[in-house]
Copies of this chain bind each other. A is one copy, B any other.
């Protein structure tokens, strides 16, 4: 049942590997345009949607909370993020973007041209098809 190492599957995995490499490359490049590292850009992007406790950030990024301390430190020292107390729990610190942080996050989204360049080669029908295939692959399809 499970495709072991048949030729087709190997080809697809290879292609996905290429997509992964290309995506990373562009993400890092977009981040460095704004003097940010990839990790910093990811955290800033997360926070621009919604302020989060340090712990939650770590869960989203699947890393240790102690790691987030440093990343938020660097973002904070650039004035892109600030730590706010959580009124509901004094142990918790909420990381929230500043106005400049929000602007940077917005600019970051704009300069991530992975969306435009490779996907621009596909028609709307093809993009729809690709979406459905990826959803099924990831098990996020609505059945």
Determine the distance from Cα of A135 to Cα of B14 in the docked complex, in whole angstroms: 11
Q: Count residues on chain A whose CB falls below 8 Å from chain B CBs.
A: 45
Q: Which residues on B sit within 8 Å (CB–CB) of A17?
A: 23
B residues near A39, Cβ cutoff 8 Å: none
Q: Evaluate contact between B127 and A19: CB separation under 8 angstroms.
A: no
Within 8 A of B (CB), among A1-39: 1-5, 8-13, 15-20, 22-25
Nearest Cβ in chain B — how far from A107, in angstroms? 14
Q: Give the contact stretch, choosing among A70-78, A79-87, A95-103, A111-119.
A: A111-119
With an 8 A cutoff between CB atoms, is A142 at the interface? no
Q: A19-B19, A20-B23 are in contact. Are A13 and B138 (CB under 8 A)?
A: no
Evaluate contact between B130 and A118: CB separation under 8 angstroms.
Answer: no
Within 8 A of B (CB), among A104-126: 114-116, 118-122, 124, 126
